[in-house]
Chains A and B, each alone.
Chain A
């Protein structure tokens, strides 16, 4: 499936769009981390929680749980939601 990568993580992927697969977000992020080592920990902490300013959308809907199932045609968008200077 297609995953949109925010600018802050493109130092890992080298691209704003990448292909990855997984039956749920846990597997998807594991696959991303295999392809781009280190990317997962910048988004998700050691307790498997999205970091404070990271957002994840599947088909336009915000997702909070890594166990969210995915299908091959889903569109995943990762966003950084940062304010302040």
Chain B
């Protein structure tokens, strides 16, 4: 491994930070697309140099930009994710923004997935140049009526997120919807089955209905693809396949902190270790760090116990939010952990969360942080 990159997507553009594997100094490259709303910036791990950026602005429609030289030059998708034109008398859907980008399986170079708001799944087979809807999901009668429009759900619209590809099987997929639960496909997206047993919902709603579920972020363990972790609106969960039962491992979090948050990430080589960034989920959902005291929590035993990690982070008066895509880890040893805040701070730990330092401050609100190994 020669060089690492942090791909930082913000409300006003994208930045790329580069470092050697010691991670002591980061060189900033950016802004790219200043003024564009960038929801996700992802490097293709299959070639180590192709970047995709999901972009829109306050007035212009959503598109995908591509670079094959690590951001020195960009080209626009000739067909960005878009729904088919509706028939006469039907209400047509329009993509408001692409939210989540996932490279396809290692055996399928050029294949990418995009999750959008309103909630839908798109696929590209040519490295992100042209996109088609995944009809088995978007047009599935079992799903279609409950996917919602761009103005439903959360203030910026419900999100199709956490599109995951089983590293052992290109046809085995998972996804999450902020308005609609977790779903699994065994046939490359042609058919889908809800995977919501054991998940809780807001009091008063029917947990057997997938439309009432609100997963915030799913992650699959690279070292054990049968294990997934989930940060949900209603707790932190783990599942070990082939079981269909999620278990609320967030019950072991300190009660004064709770187990509500947006992101969750997992150790690249240890399926017992994952990290969350809790937020205040009380009364009106302030969605700040609880008490203004930001901290990451780590489990090293699969969620049986959790430890607070806040050395180097502000000890008070820091009312952060970390969005669901804005926490990431690298694959170094020890693992580097990164968070980007809605207040525009970019933080890192080079020792698995034990000590934290700031890479950048005063960035625009950070929507996503990804790590990448450069070719």
A49 interface contact, C-beta 8 A:
yes
Which of A38, A43, A46 has the largest count of B CB atoms less than 10 A from its CB? Answer: A46
With beta carbons under 8 angstroms apart, the residue of A38, A46, A81 that contacts B59 is A81
Which of A8, A49, A84 has the largest count of B CB atoms less than 10 A from its CB? Answer: A8
- Contact (Cβ within 8 A) A8 B76: no
- Contact (Cβ within 8 A) A38 B63: yes
- Contact (Cβ within 8 A) B78 A46: no
Q: How large is the interface on A (under 10, 10 to 19, 20 to 34, 35 or more residues)?
A: 20 to 34
B168 interface contact, C-beta 8 A:
no
- Contact (Cβ within 8 A) A46 B83: yes
Q: Which of B293-311 contact A (CB under 8 A)?
A: none
Binary B-proximity of A1-44 (CB < 8 A = 1, otherwise 0)? 00000001100000000000000000000000000011001111
Q: Which residues of chain B come closer than 8 Å to A54, judged between CB atoms?
A: 59-60
- Contact (Cβ within 8 A) A46 B84: yes
| Whole-angstrom distance between the Cβ of A32 and the nearest chain B Cβ | 14
Chain B residue at minimal CB-CB distance from A48: B85
Known contacts: A46-B92, A47-B85, A48-B85. The answer to whether A41 contacts B59 by CB under 8 A is no
Q: Which of B47-86 contact A (CB under 8 A)?
A: 57-61, 63, 76-78, 80, 82-86
With beta carbons under 8 angstroms apart, the residue of A43, A46, A51 that contacts B82 is A46
Could you tell me the dominant secondary structure of chain B's interface residues? loop
- Contact (Cβ within 8 A) B58 A41: no
Binary B-proximity of A44-58 (CB < 8 A = 1, otherwise 0)? 111111011110000
Q: Which residues of chain B come closer than 8 Å to A9, judged between CB atoms?
A: 60
B94 interface contact, C-beta 8 A:
yes
Q: Which of A71-85 contact B (CB under 8 A)?
A: 80-82, 84
With beta carbons under 8 angstroms apart, the residue of B60, B77, B83, B86 that contacts A51 is B60
Q: Which residues of chain A come closer than 8 Å to B77, judged between CB atoms?
A: 38
Chain B residue at minimal CB-CB distance from A49: B94
B95 interface contact, C-beta 8 A:
yes
Complex: how many Å from CA A52 to CA B80? 18
A-B contact pairs, 15 of them (CB 8 A): A37-B76, A37-B78, A38-B63, A42-B60, A43-B60, A45-B61, A45-B94, A46-B84, A47-B85, A47-B93, A47-B94, A49-B94, A51-B60, A80-B59, A80-B60
